[in-house]
C-alpha cells in the first residue's frame, strides 16, 4: 500500500500513545517503517497503546516489519524535541500530539494553546533547524481537525478554502495550528529541497481501542456496560462519521504523496503541501442520536436520553 513509500522509511510520529497515534504506529510498522514515537503517556486508562502492547510490539512483529522507538516527552519543550528529531533523523513526520478535548479546553485554555499551537511551532521550528543542516525530513503532515473552520452552523460540508476560526479554545487552537503551518510553509519551506508541509483536517472518528473521554461510542459502551442510559449531548447534531483507519489512510496517502512528489516535483498541488480535508461521503453524515440508536441495537438493548446540559461533542 501507499506505493511502498513507507518500507524502511524513518518516520517520526508525535502523539503515538493516543488513539489515532497508536493505530498509526501499528500501521506504519506493518508497512515496514522504522517509527520513532514522541509523546506524553497514554491519555486514558485503559488505552489502545497498552491494550495492543505496542511498547513491546517489536518482539512480535513478522519479518519485514519496521522497528519502533518509544520516546516520552513534551511537545511544549523544544530541547527534548530537538534531541529526538536529531536522533531519529526522520524522512517523514506525522504530528498528532495535542490536547484533544473540547471540555478540557474550556477548563485549561492556556494548556490547550500551549500544546496545540506552540507545540506546532516547536515542531516546525526544529524541522526548520534540521532542514538548514541538510538533514530535514522530506514530508511533514500536521493533523488538525475539521473543527478548525469558522463554525457557521450550516449543514454544508466545509471545503479547504473556507475561513478558519473555532468558537471554543480547542477548535480555535486547531485553526491557529493551521495558520502557523501555512506561515512556516510560505516563509521557510517554499524553496526547492525544503520539507513539504501539509495539514490534514478530519472529523469525528470511531473504531476499536477508543476509551476517550467525551467520545460518543466509548460513552455508549461505558453506560450500557454499567446498565444505565447513555446520556447524549447534542443528539440532533449531524457529524461526518468515519472509521479511524479511513482518516489514517488519508494521512498516509498524503505523507506518501508529499514524499514522492517532493522527489520528482511532478504534481505542484500536492508537492506544495497545502491543507486537505478527509471526510466520508454524504451517506455517513448522520445525527448523533441515529448513531447511538444503531449502537444500542447492536449491543442488544439499552436506553439513551438527552444529557441535561447541551455540550459540544469533542474530538
Ligand X SMILES: NC(=O)c1ccc[n+]([C@@H]2O[C@H](COP(=O)([O-])OP(=O)(O)OC[C@H]3O[C@@H](n4cnc5c(N)ncnc54)[C@H](O)[C@@H]3O)[C@@H](O)[C@H]2O)c1
Which positions touch ligand X (CB under 6 A)? 15, 17-21, 39-41, 43, 74-76, 96-100, 115, 119, 143, 145, 202-205, 212, 315
Is the bond leading into 55 cis (omega within 30 degrees of zero)? Answer: no
For ligand X, which is the closer residue by CB, 204 or 257? 204
Shortest CB 264 distance to ligand X, Å: 29
For ligand X, the closer of residues 23 and 259 by Cβ is 23
Q: Which residue is nearest to ligand X (CB)?
A: 18
Residue 1 Cβ vs ligand X, minimum distance, rounded to whole Å: 21
CB of 230 to ligand X, least distance (A): 18
**Cα 232 to Cα 236: distance, rounded to the nearest angstrom:** 10
- Shortest reach from residue 255's CB to ligand X, in Å: 14
Among residues 264, 127, 99, which one has the least CA distance to residue 184? 127
Pick between residue 166 and residue 261 the one whose CB is nearest to ligand X: 166
* Shortest spacing between CB 29 and ligand X, in angstroms: 16
Partners of 243 in beta bridges: 206
Q: Smaller CB distance to ligand X: residue 123 or 262? A: 123
Shortest distance, CB of residue 56 to ligand X, whole angstroms? Answer: 17
In the complex with ligand X, the residue whose CB is nearer, 246 or 290, is: 246
What are the start-end ranges of the H helices in the chain?
A: 19-30, 48-51, 78-88, 102-107, 109-113, 119-132, 169-187, 216-225, 244-264, 268-271, 288-299
Residue whose CB is less far from ligand X, 247 or 261: 247
Minimum Å distance from CB 192 to ligand X? 30
Name the minimum Å distance from CB 187 to ligand X. 23
All residues at 6 or more sequence positions from 237 whose CB lies less than 8 Å from its CB, including other chains: 287, 288, 313
**139-143 vs 196-202, strand pairing mode:** parallel
Nearer to ligand X, 96 or 256 (CB): 96
Q: Which CA distances in Å does 123 have to 38, 64, 90, 248, 307?
A: 11, 30, 12, 20, 39
Per DSSP, what are the bridge partners of residue 93? 12, 140
Q: How far apart are CA 241 and CA 203, in angstroms?
A: 7
- Cell 453524515 locates to 285
Quote the CA–CA distance of 229 and 198 in Å, as a whole number: 42
How far apart are the C-alpha atoms of 244 and 30, rounded to whole Å? Answer: 17
- Pick the closer one to ligand X by CB: 115 or 257: 115
Show Cβ contacts of residue 62 under 8 Å, excluding neighbours closer than 6 positions: none
Amino acid at each position: 500500500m501507499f506505493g511502498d513509500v513507507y518500507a524502511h522509511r524513518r518516520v517520526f510520529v508525535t502523539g503515538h500513545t493516543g488513539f489515532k497515534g497508536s493505530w498509526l504506529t501499528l500501521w506504519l510498522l506493518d508497512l515496514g517503517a522504522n517509527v520513532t514515537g514522541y509523546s506524553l503517556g497514554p491519555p486514558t486508562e485503559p488505552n489502545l497503546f497498552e491494550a495492543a502492547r505496542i511498547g513491546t510490539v517489536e518482539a512480535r512483529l513478522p519479518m519485514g516489519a519496521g522497528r519502533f522507538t518509544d520516546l516520552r516527552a513534551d511537545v511544549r519543550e523544544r530541547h527534548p524535541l530537538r534531541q529526538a528529531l536529531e536522533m531519529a533523523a526522520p524522512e517523514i513526520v506525522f504530528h498528532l500530539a495535542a490536547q484533544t478535548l473540547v471540555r478540557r479546553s474550556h477548563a485549561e485554555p492556556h494548556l490547550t494553546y500551549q500544546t496545540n499551537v506552540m507545540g506546532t511551532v516547536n515542531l516546525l521550528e526544529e524541522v526548520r533547524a534540521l532542514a538548514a543542516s541538510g538533514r530535514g525530513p522530506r514530508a511533514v503532515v500536521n493533523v488538525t481537525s475539521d473543527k478548525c473552520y469558522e463554525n457557521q452552523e450550516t449543514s454544508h460540508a466545509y471545503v479547504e478554502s473556507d475561513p478558519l476560526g473555532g468558537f471554543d479554545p480547542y477548535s480555535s487552537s486547531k485553526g491557529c495550528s493551521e495558520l502557523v503551518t501555512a506561515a512556516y510553509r510560505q516563509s521557510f519551506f517554499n524553496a526547492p529541497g525544503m520539507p513539504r508541509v501539509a495539514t490534514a483536517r478530519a472529523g469525528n472518528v470511531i473504531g476499536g481501542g477508543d476509551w476517550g473521554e467525551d467520545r460518543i461510542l466509548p460513552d455508549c459502551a461505558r453506560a450500557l456496560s454499567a446498565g444505565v442510559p447513555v446520556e447524549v449531548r447534542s443528539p440532533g447534531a449531524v457529524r461526518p462519521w468515519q472509521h479511524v483507519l479511513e482518516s489514517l489512510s488519508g494521512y498516509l496517502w498524503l505523507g506518501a504523496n508529499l514524499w514522492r512528489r517532493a522527489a520528482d516535483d511532478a504534481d505542484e498541488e500536492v508537492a506544495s503541501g497545502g491543507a486537505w480535508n478527509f471526510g466520508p461521503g454524504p451517506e455517513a453524515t448522520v445525527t448523533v442520536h441515529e448513531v447511538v440508536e444503531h449502537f444500542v441495537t447492536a449491543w442488544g438493548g439499552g436506553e439513551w436520553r438527552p444529557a441535561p446540559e447541551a455540550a459540544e461533542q469533542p474530538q
